[in-house]
Structure 1
Amino acid sequence: MKKHAYSYAVLQYRHDVWVGEALNAGVLLFSESARFLKLKSRTGQGRLAQAYPDLDHGAFRDAVKALGRRFDKISSSSGLFQPSGGALEVGRKVLLPDDSSLSWGMTGSGISADPEDALNKIYARFVGRYDKVAGREPRTDEMVFETVRRKLELAELYQRVQPHVVRSKYAAIPFKHTIENGALHVIQPVSFDSADAENMLDKAAKWAGRLQSIAELKGRVRPYFVTGKPTDHSLMVQYSKMVELLRASPLDPVVMDEEHSSELVAKIADHLH
């Protein structure tokens, strides 16, 4: 499959141009070889509305939609795809540098077989990363633990669960759910219900690092990770990688998806007995 070079420019919104504060509002991606030019932008809701309650949503929406239509019109014209610089240069043909609330910020480039997919990923990274999915709160670690808690209750083990701080010469790591029986059995829920693959990596790496900091306690601490899948199915490949990262961590942790919580609790029971 042929890959195409592309460049992008991040569209920013400045509520008060004199203050200079800006929030990312969209991404313009341009690939000359793929004959692709598109602006993907916010509609005035989400973080912008939270940051600026007095934002005129209608005016903002009309402004970014008008920009999008301008780029669509340029894209459909035969003269666009001549050597003309990158996304920033093309963007400045429509939105000139001035004191308006919309301006171009960060730029970058890359290679992709699918510029549309590249645009969606870049938008998710720079614009939609901290947005909440409409009508849904991301599942927390403790929400994931609820499945295990019920299984522990059925196995008559939950009454033995206690919080504990695991200490080594490098760190003191607090855990909410532990059972002590010779060794300390640590049950740690990890929700990967995220809108961003990089956030998932940060979370898995954090726990791998924490286990590394108490690696000297091997044989005295037994970790069990119960993981929760992302709601976004496009992140399932990343989810599988993060599960493997946890499994490769120090102390030989048992790592299972919450769907297999019965098996996880059975392993804990076997180890306790």
Structure 2
Amino acid sequence: MRAIEIQNYFETVKKLVLEYSPKFVVAVIILLVGLWATSFITRTAKKLMIKRNVELTLSNFIGNLIFWTLRILLFVTVISKLGIETSSFVAILGAAGLAVGLSLQGSLSNFAGGILIILFKPFKLGDTIEAHGETGKVAEILIFSTKLITATNQVIYIPNGILSNGKIKNYSQLGIRRADLILKTSYQSNFSEIKSNILSFVATHELILQEPKPEVLVNELSETTIVFVVKVWTNNADFAKVSSDILEFSKTVVKL
């Protein structure tokens, strides 16, 4: 009796081996080929995006998204070849994805904002921007936030969700910038002479652009002073220097 049970056991094992060996071999082949293919497709996609000058952050993200999507599909394919039912597994995966999505609504908003920023490019790396009361140079565009470096060398992270939905002032995008400097002088002073002196100064300043043409205009007439504005154009990198030089020169010609 014992010998018969052992024989039946070996027969069952033999039957299972014969039945599942081809499936196992096919699954292993699919796995090995799939691992190579997913890596190859991901590398190729990244190279194509780099050639087309796609933002590095976006190309890395899309590459990772392609990689893990293909790996998940590969995993489902392999286990289905082994004869394992995949419908319940897919349902569980979908439910888990929904639960994670609901628990990470804020992060998903920042994620979507990061994608919009990378796609529509309201700013790029190296631009100086002002957003949500903060001004700084864009050091890094991440998927969930944007990193700014302020003029005082402070690091600021702004969530991409509010950044993509708010007002952004980009000081670098057009290459040049106008400085509007408000000055005051008394009614007893010779405003025409002051205007002429300032225009002569800005006409010879090497960092001030002469096109568009510099202007000195009366901005307001208060009870005690004439308020006027000096408008000059300069390259973004020279803005602070030009503003300082004009203010320093104006001190010698403006009388209060």
Say whether the fold is shared (TM-score over 0.5). Answer: no
Q: Which has the higher contact order (CA 8 A, sep 6+)?
A: 1
Higher helix residue share: 2
Give TM-score, length-normalised by structure 1: 0.22
Higher strand residue share: 1
